[in-house]
Structure formats: structure tokens, C-alpha cells
Amino acid sequence: MFRKTLIVEDQEVANLGIMSTLEELLIPRFDFVTYCDEALQRLKAAAAENAPYDLLIADLSFKKDHIAQKLKSGQELIYEARKIQPDLKVVVFSVESRSKIIDDLYKTYHINGFVSKARNDGKELKNTIRKVFKGETVMSQDILNAIRKIPRDLDEYDLKLLELLSKGCKQNEIQTYLKEHRMEPYSIRSIEKRLNELREIFCAKNNIEMIVICKDIGLI
């Protein structure tokens, strides 16, 4: 089992739950920090002392307070941690539910497991840590099913259309933006056609419903 774990979480109740889980797993040493900057310094110091952490458990979002931080999210911390210790095992423990965001955690940040904060999350966290220790990449069936629903044929043009639409831009305003940024096609007819196609892809009755769907999965 893991010997040295770093937990990055700013909620005391969550920390107590994680502590109980690690004690049940008989992990001998675990340290808690509430800021990503401090976590990165701990990782650097441990590596320099040739006594690195072998598991990082991190949340994604942290409340701002009077202490300024360079690293403002779990994603930023994981990215920097990988530079220091590429083989570090990472488990994200978060309330995040947007499938696109979670998909990016695996594909871009190469996490080893994701656990949703919910009922019975202690049991799920324990099982995930065990599997990650054995070398597995852990993704629950619910998350896998949600990720499979993310359209894979969207490009930068499509994402920009959805973003502008979500900001309340009208089609003539979208046309102006696309033309100014040399993103083709930018004719009103082409924009209308692609928006119709996107509504079909997302099975949405109108643009408003489509934007709600996109926000729910984290595309915009």
C-alpha cells in the first residue's frame, strides 16, 4: 500500500473523512494542506529530500481568502506536480460532475482516479486508492457512461459558436466575430446551418436547451 500521501483539501469535514479512509488502509503517513501553493512546495521539498510522496489526493476548487495563491485550482496543481514527479499517483476527490471536465482530467492531466463527493464516498475512495496502488486507472461506470455521451466531432469553430451563443450574441454579432477572427464559414446562412446541426447532435429543441446541455457537461 502507499506509504506517504499528500491531501489537498480546504474543507475540514472532507479532510476528516479522507483521514478515516487512509487509516483504514493502514497508510502510515499522510499530510494535509489547504492551499495548492503549499502543496506544491511540499512536493518539491519531499522530492529534494529523496522522500517523495507516492499519492496525491486533491480537490479541484478552493475558496479564495486573504492569502494570495499562484495556483488556483487542482488542475493547475496536478500539472505542476507532474513536472516534479511524473510517476506520482493522483486521485481527484471532488464535487465536480461535468463530464467534459472529468474527461479532461484523464486525458490532459493523466489522473489515476476520480471520486465524487457524495454518499458512500469513503467506500469509493478506499476502493479507488486500492486499485490505483495496483496500477489501475479508475473510472466509475457512471462517469464512463457520461463521457461517452460527449460529442467527439466538435471542432474549434463549433465550440466558438456555442460560446458566443451562450453569451447572448445574435447571429449578426456571431458573424462579425467570426469574420474579424478569420473563422470560416461566417455567412449568416452557414451559421444557421451549423447551429441546426449542433441542435440535432445534442438532441436539443432550441438554442437555449442546447446551451444548457453544453454547460451541464462542461463544454462551455
Best-predicted range by mean pLDDT among 57-71, 114-128, 194-208? 194-208
Cβ neighbours for 175, distance < 8 A, ≥ 6 positions apart: 186, 187, 188, 191
Cβ neighbours for 56, distance < 8 A, ≥ 6 positions apart: 5, 6, 8, 39, 43, 78, 81, 88, 89, 90, 91
pTM: 0.85
Are 177 and 188 in contact by the 8 Å Cβ rule? The answer is no
More confident residue, 129 or 147: 129
Cα separation of 177 and 183, whole Å?
8
* pLDDT grade for 121, boundaries at 50, 70 and 90: confident
pLDDT of the residue at 122: 86
pLDDT of the residue at 137: 96
pLDDT of the residue at 120: 78
For the domain 4-148, what is the CATH code?
3.40.50.2300
Tens of pLDDT, residues 154-189: 999 999 999 999 999 999 999 999 999 999 999 999
pLDDT of 210 higher than 90 = yes
Cα separation of 182 and 159, whole Å?
15
Tens of pLDDT, residues 84-106: 999 999 999 999 999 999 999 99
Cα separation of 211 and 218, whole Å?
10
Domain 156-217 has CATH 2.60.40: no
* pLDDT grade for 13, boundaries at 50, 70 and 90: low
Burial class (CB in 10 A: 0-12, 13-18, 19+), 68: exposed
Q: Where are the domains of the chain?
A: 4-148, 156-217
Q: Mean pLDDT for the chain?
A: 93
Best-predicted range by mean pLDDT among 66-70, 139-143, 189-193? 189-193
